[in-house]
Amino acid sequence: MRRILVCSIAAIALIAAATAIAAGDSYTATTKIAPSKGGTAAAPVPISLTTNYKVTPTPPNRAGVLLDIKNSWAGLQVNGNLFPVCTAATINAAQSDKGCKASSLVGTGSLTAVLGPHTDPTNAGAECDRDIKVYNGGKGKLVFTLAGDPAKCLSITFLPAFEATYKVSGGKLLLDAPIPRFISHPLGLDGSLKTEVISYKRLTKKVKGKVRGFFESVSCKGGKRAYKTTFKTATQTSTVPGTLKCSK
């Protein structure tokens, strides 16, 4: 009898856990890299990289407010120290990125979101479309700006630029983009991401007679490149893994 009771409790716990997971937001995240050649540390291959995210909330609620997005890609590195820089401080002081050198722009993209009241997560909210620009913030840093037609985002004009950090650890490029409050809660509202696409350019520069890239591939193990994206809200952390084909 006791064994039956324990098994029943365990089953109830599993059902509860499954329900909790099912009740959360759903995330998709894909990466495209070109070319697919792996390269080596001695002969790195400059690449372009595109990330694509989609968030699906559980009705009737809006999606949770993202606090952080982390990416991991096997066999990649970034050479921020080799390319022109435009810092978040420079952009924010001018409240514009017009002073940034064109050669410091490393990526572009767009996002769609909804902005709604914190007190009512079932409120459908207002649509917000923003253009994304990513600048080289120097070694270990990327700088993100969100801009666009104010009419497409509750008349919001300037949003401050913010930083993400990157490093290579254990043969993987790790990119961490904490979402500052002025981005996640514009006008005091909750911002819920719907979609986001960012395309990082295949930028190159000749250094000591060798062509170097901003993003580079330096390895490919077993013809596969593992990657993952982790989304974090106040109540949920979801990791989406993926694999790309690559060649030696």
Distances in Å between the alpha carbon of 148 and those of 4, 97, 145, 156, 193? 61, 12, 10, 9, 16
Euclidean distance between the first and the last CA atom of the chain, given in angstroms as a whole number: 60
Global pTM? 0.89
Distance CA 168, CA 78 (A): 8
* Residue among 11, 24, 102 nearest 63 (CA): 24
To which H or E segment does residue 129 belong?
A: strand 126-136
What does the pLDDT look like over 128-186, one tens digit per residue?
999 999 999 999 999 999 999 999 999 999 999 999 999 999 999 999 999 999 999 99
* Average pLDDT score over residue span 77-94: 98
140, amino acid identity:
G
* Average pLDDT score over residue span 192-213: 97
Q: Would the pLDDT of 113 be above 70?
A: yes
Q: Would the pLDDT of 12 be above 80?
A: no
* 8 A C-beta contact, residue 72 and residue 173: yes
CA 31-36-37 angle, to 5 degrees, is 145
What does the pLDDT look like over 91-110, one tens digit per residue?
999 999 999 999 999 999 99
Q: Give the confidence band of 248 by pLDDT, cuts at 50, 70, 90.
A: confident
Q: Give the confidence band of 6 by pLDDT, cuts at 50, 70, 90.
A: very low
Amino acid 114: pLDDT: 98
* Average pLDDT score over residue span 214-223: 96
92, amino acid identity:
N
Amino acid 23: pLDDT: 53
Burial environment of residue 75 by CB neighbours within 10 A (0 to 12, 13 to 18, 19 or more): buried
Q: Where are the domains of the chain?
A: 24-245
